[in-house]
Amino acid sequence: MKRTALGLAVLLALVAMGTTPVHAAGHGHQKVRKVGILLVAFGSSEQSTQVSFDNIDRKVRAAYPGIPVRWAYTSTIIRKKLARQGKMLDSPEVALARMQDEDFTHVAVQSLHTIGGAEFHDLRRTVGAFTAMGAFERIMLGYPLLATQKDMERSVDAILGIIPAHRKKSEAVVFMGHGSHHPANAFYAALMFQVQRRDPNIFIGCVEGYPPIDEVLAMLQEKKIQKVYLMPFMSVAGDHAKNDMAGDEPDSWKTILTEAGIECELILKGIAEFDSFVEIWVDHIQGPLAHFDQ
Ligand code: CO
């Protein structure tokens, strides 16, 4: 009996939390509907990567005119580094608190991650917390780049569209993904499987996940590949691309492949510099926005 009463009280409290802020804002005034988009990236402290973020920002504003767009970076280290350069960026939590303060009623949070890995799920928890607080009438999270089978097919097309046109079919293209300890790491190998159905000499490895460079090298050697084009499969060509992929250190991919007798040509462009990839993230914002209209 006691338990039921408590359960009912909790339920009523939750219902109140979910509805009160919107309908009883101020003194009985109803809040005016205000929709916003929050773009969330890991972030980068490399100035050269700004081109990727600017491209996303431009495309999002063009696709959803009239909807205010805000940014947040999940990486504390990067935010602190940028702050020392006088560039202030919010965490998702601070950005959402600000949006709550500015009377947004509907927020589409768009992950700019590649896979639904650890960071995406951290962001999901943050969105869940703001939902529980009743901070907005609706708050929803959009999928990362690789989520549905349609995303995979679009990404395969996008990959085929950005590889160097002058490359010979006997030459390989090796993409460096980030990778993760999270189960969603499997998306990288799944994408490689699908892209190789179209072009068997395109490979996707991970700097911090599966498949590692040794395994990619073994595959290249099985096919007797003599030249590869190295490209990041990350939104930005930041620290990993410049150092772990293209650097002169003994464990960089360039060094490992070169020492194995494979010629390397480097392409230092993040995938968010290419519209075909940006459009996938941009289209994912439609998911939350469509729910707001229901
Ligand atoms: Co990393």
State the CATH number of the domain containing residue 76: 3.40.50.1400
Domain that holds residue 233: 149-270
Q: How high is the pLDDT of residue 48?
A: 86
Does 164 lie in the same domain as 288?
no
Does 170 lie in the same domain as 118?
no
| DSSP-based three-state secondary structure for 271 | helix
Does 201 lie in the same domain as 141?
no
Q: How high is the pLDDT of residue 30?
A: 74
**Count of structural domains, the chain:** 2
Helical (H) or strand (E) element with 231: strand 227-233
Does 157 lie in the same domain as 135?
no
Does 155 lie in the same domain as 138?
no
Q: How high is the pLDDT of residue 127?
A: 98
Q: How high is the pLDDT of residue 21?
A: 47
| Ligand 1 center–CA 106 separation, angstroms | 32
| Ligand 1 center–CA 240 separation, angstroms | 7
Does 14 lie in the same domain as 109?
yes
| Ligand 1 center–CA 179 separation, angstroms | 8
Q: How high is the pLDDT of residue 27?
A: 61
Q: Is 23 a catalytic residue?
A: no
Tokens of 44: 């980068």
Query: Cα(159)–Cα(177) distance, rounded to whole angstroms?
Result: 13
| Ligand 1 center–CA 178 separation, angstroms | 6
Does 104 lie in the same domain as 156?
no
| Ligand 1 center–CA 109 separation, angstroms | 22
The backbone region for 217, taken as left when phi is positive above 0, alpha when psi lies in -120 to 50, beta otherwise, is: alpha
Does 135 lie in the same domain as 38?
yes
Does 241 lie in the same domain as 203?
yes
Q: How high is the pLDDT of residue 15?
A: 43
Q: How high is the pLDDT of residue 88?
A: 94
Does 135 lie in the same domain as 279?
yes
Mean pLDDT by 10 residues, the chain (294 residues): 46 44 56 96 90 95 98 95 95 98 98 96 98 97 98 98 96 98 98 98 98 98 98 95 97 98 97 96 97 87
Q: How high is the pLDDT of residue 53?
A: 94
Q: Determine which one of 106, 113, 178, 284 is catalytic.
A: 178
How many CA atoms are closer than 13 Å to the CA of 123, on its beta-carbon side? 31
Query: Cα(127)–Cα(92) distance, rounded to whole angstroms?
Result: 9
Whether the link from the prior residue into 183 is cis, omega within 30° of 0, is no
Does 120 lie in the same domain as 7?
yes
| Ligand 1 center–CA 225 separation, angstroms | 28
Q: How high is the pLDDT of residue 12?
A: 45
Query: Cα(62)–Cα(82) distance, rounded to whole angstroms?
Result: 27
Does 113 lie in the same domain as 37?
yes
